[in-house]
Amino acid sequence: MANAMREMVTQLVQARSDLKAGKTAQLNFKSFYNYGLTDESFNKPGLEGMSQFLLTQSKTFDTNPTPKSYNNVINACQSCHIYLCPGPLDLINTLNY
């Protein structure tokens, strides 16, 4: 999960920078299940639903990259981490547009 988080944060920071610079921004998030999560704590039933919500928001952003759609992705990240993995929440809270 650490690798997934690191990649996600890198993409979010780049997308925010691109938006602020008036450049085309994309996230292109993939399913978190591709990372082969090994920690049992991530195999909670809610993870699939929350990650699908995040992926839906990121696809919406990729289609319509605006500050509002970017913040919707951040809100989805925050929701997931509040309930499933609170550790990186402080970092995610710094990523709003």
Neighbours of 70 (CB within 10 A): 24
Please report whether residue 36 resides in a domain: no
What total of structural domains would you count in the chain? 1
Q: Report residue 78's pLDDT band, with 50, 70 and 90 as the boundaries.
A: confident
Please report whether residue 54 resides in a domain: yes
Please report whether residue 50 resides in a domain: yes
Provide the residue range defining the domain that includes 96.
Answer: 1-20+46-97
Q: Give 5-63 pLDDT, tens digit per residue.
A: 788 889 999 999 999 999 999 998 876 655 555 555 555 666 777 778 889 999 999 99
| Spatial separation of the C-alpha atoms in residues 37 and 21, rounded to whole Å | 35
Please report whether residue 12 resides in a domain: yes
Please report whether residue 4 resides in a domain: yes
Over 80: is that where the pLDDT of 94 sits?
A: yes
- Element containing residue 36 per DSSP (H, E): none
Find all residues with CB under 8 Å of 56, minimum gap 6, and list them: 76
Neighbours of 68 (CB within 10 A): 10
Across the range 64-78, mean pLDDT stands at 93
Give this prediction's pTM: 0.78
- Which is higher by pLDDT, 81 or 58? 58
Please report whether residue 16 resides in a domain: yes
- Compute the residue count for the chain: 97
Please report whether residue 35 resides in a domain: no
Please report whether residue 83 resides in a domain: yes
